[in-house]
Amino acid sequence: NAGVMQNPRHLVRRRGQEARLRCSPMKGHSHVYWYRQLPEEGLKFMVYLQKENIIDESGMPKERFSAEFPKEGPSILRIQQVVRGDSAAYFCASSPVSPTSGGKYNEQFFGPGTRLTVL
Amino acid sequence: AQSVTQPDIHITVSEGASLELRCNYSYGATPYLFWYVQSPGQGLQLLLKYFSGDTLVQGIKGFEAEFKRSQSSFNLRKPSVHWSDAAEYFCAVARTNTGNQFYFGTGTSLTVIP
């Protein structure tokens, strides 16, 4: 049973280019979360998605960033016109149901992350 | 607003020594509390969690943590550290009303010396 898969593991982009980060959740998981980890900082929540729905995007920058989780295929985090400040590790996590469904905690499983470097 | 503070950026301990990593949180109600470990270049692995009930929780790899409401703390402990415990440790809190959004501390980097 494969864990959460993220690709690419490392991505280098020049300023102004687009970055596409992919996340394949664990089998049977329909909830996906994206986090960003800036250098020397903890993870910061960006967005929470279910299949074909954005549930909570309160942590997403208002411009240049978007996320989707289509009915088929991986979840995509898209960063348009990247800037040097976007350089970070981007982590995806998945869970089978909402973390607090059924009155108990349902664990989020984290992927290995994508390290984005903007030159 | 919710927040998590890990006051120790870096800790060095000798192998076999005891360990305590501090975590303080700010949240109006009883939160869900977690400790994760991250090895270099890897994702996060859940060590343990507090949801409700017994305030002393046991986790994997011999770790435990104690929830102290009066101190708004959730410190992680291990009685005898192994060299393989060297990693980055993150404390996190989730809101009990939604539980979906996690707030992470800035992490504590643990070095273990022989």
Distance between CA atoms of residues A80 and A95, nearest Å: 27
Is B59's Cβ below 8 Å from some Cβ in A?
Answer: no
How many cross-chain Cβ pairs, A to B, lie less than 8 Å apart?
A: 66
What is the pLDDT at residue B31? 80
pLDDT on residue B27: 77
A43 touches chain B (CB under 8 A): yes
Average pLDDT over residues A110-116: 93
User: At B1, which amino acid appears?
Assistant: A
Most confident among A68-72, A76-80, A109-113 (mean pLDDT): A76-80
In angstroms, the CA A23 to CA A48 distance is 13
Q: Which pLDDT score is estimated for B97? A: 62
SS3 string of A8-37?
A: CCEEEECCCCCEEEEEECCCCCCEEEEEEE
Q: Which of A89, A93, A90 is nearest to A106 (CA)?
A: A93
Instruction: Please say if the pLDDT value at position A119 is more than 70.
Output: yes
Which of A96 and B111 is assigned the larger pLDDT? Answer: B111
Residues 67-86 of A with CB under 8 A from B: none
Q: Best residue in A10, A35, A43, A106 to probe B by mutation, most B CBs within 10 Å?
A: A43
Q: Which of A116, A117, A119 is nearest to A21 (CA)?
A: A116
Q: Do A100 and B46 touch (CB under 8 A)?
A: no
Q: Which residues contact A54 (CB under 8 A, 6 or more apart)?
A: A47, A48, A67, A68
What does each C-alpha distance from B40 to A15, B34, B85, B89 come to in angstroms?
Answer: 27, 20, 12, 11
- Chain A residues lying within 8 Å of B2, measured CB to CB: none
Burial of B63 (0-12, 13-18, 19+ CB in 10 A): buried
Note whether A4 contacts B: Cβ–Cβ < 8 A. yes
Average pLDDT value for chain A: 90
- What mean pLDDT is predicted for residues A75-99? 92
Res. A105 pLDDT band, cuts 50 70 90: low
Secondary structure of chain A: what % helix, strand, coil (to 5)? 5, 45, 50
pLDDT digits 0-9 by tens, A1-12:
578 999 999 999
Residue of B nearest to A95 (CA): B100
The Cα–Cα gap between B43 and A2 comes to 14
pLDDT top residue among B32 and B98:
B32
**Coil, strand or helix: which one is A84?**
helix
**The pLDDT of residue A64 is above 70:** yes
DSSP B30-76: PPEEEEEEE-TT--EEEEEEE-SS-SEEE-GGG-EEEEEGGGTEEEE
| pLDDT score of A100 | 61
Q: What is the pLDDT of residues B30-89, one digit of tens each?
A: 788 999 999 887 788 999 999 888 899 999 999 999 999 999 999 999 999 999 999 999
Does A104 contact B51 at a Cβ distance shorter than 8 Å? yes
Q: Is the backbone peptide bond immediately before A70 cis, with ω within 30 degrees of 0?
A: no
Question: In the numeric block, which tokens belong to residue B113?
Answer: 């010396």
Using CB atoms, which residue from B4, B42, B49 is nearest to A105?
A: B49
**pLDDT for the residue A84:** 95
B95 touches chain A (CB under 8 A): no
Q: Please indicate whether, in this complex, the C-beta atoms of A45 and B51 are within 8 angstroms of each other.
A: no
Give whichever of A30-44, B9-23, B27-41, B48-62 has the largest mean pLDDT: B9-23
Return the pLDDT at A69. Answer: 96
Kindly state the average pLDDT of the residues A15-39: 94
Q: Do B104 and A33 touch (CB under 8 A)?
A: no
**For residue B40, what is the nearest residue in chain A, using CA coordinates?**
A112
